[in-house]
Amino acid sequence: MCNQIKIGFIMFTLVLFGFQCKEKTNPADIPPAISSIPNIKGEWILEWENGIHQIQLNPEDKKILWDGNEGLELDLDSLGIRIRAYDEETVKGYFLYSDIKPKSWIGTWENRVVRLIRRN
């Protein structure tokens, strides 16, 4: 009887440990279909540190051109877009879909509130 209790306890511990080790996906990290988000594609202007920068967004291929140069990429999540350098984990910019307007978009860039202005 004592051996059955030990085996039962070991099995229970293994099952419990197995459930805790599974990596769960955060629903906020799941990107929506591009057709379901506002149109973000195109050229935007960012005024940053006394300079004006052109940002070309293309959500289909997740590329961003910064002043005509590559080096940044676009990550979509359920709430907005993250902009980061290819070789960095740190997010440079974050913009919520809910904050986009026809000609402007408020978000953050390196922990500061900024506004993108749509060109055209």
Share the mean pLDDT of the chain.
84
Say whether 19 sits in a helix, a strand or coil.
helix
Rg (CA), the chain: 22
pLDDT surpasses 90 at 5: no
Q: What is the pLDDT, as a whole number, of residue 31?
A: 75
Query: What is the structure's pLDDT at 82?
Result: 93
Tens of pLDDT, residues 30-78: 777 888 889 999 999 998 888 899 999 998 888 899 999 998 999 999 8
- The secondary structure of 53-100 as a DSSP string is EEEEEETTTTEEEETTEEEEEEEE-SSEEEEEETT-SSEEEEEEGGGB
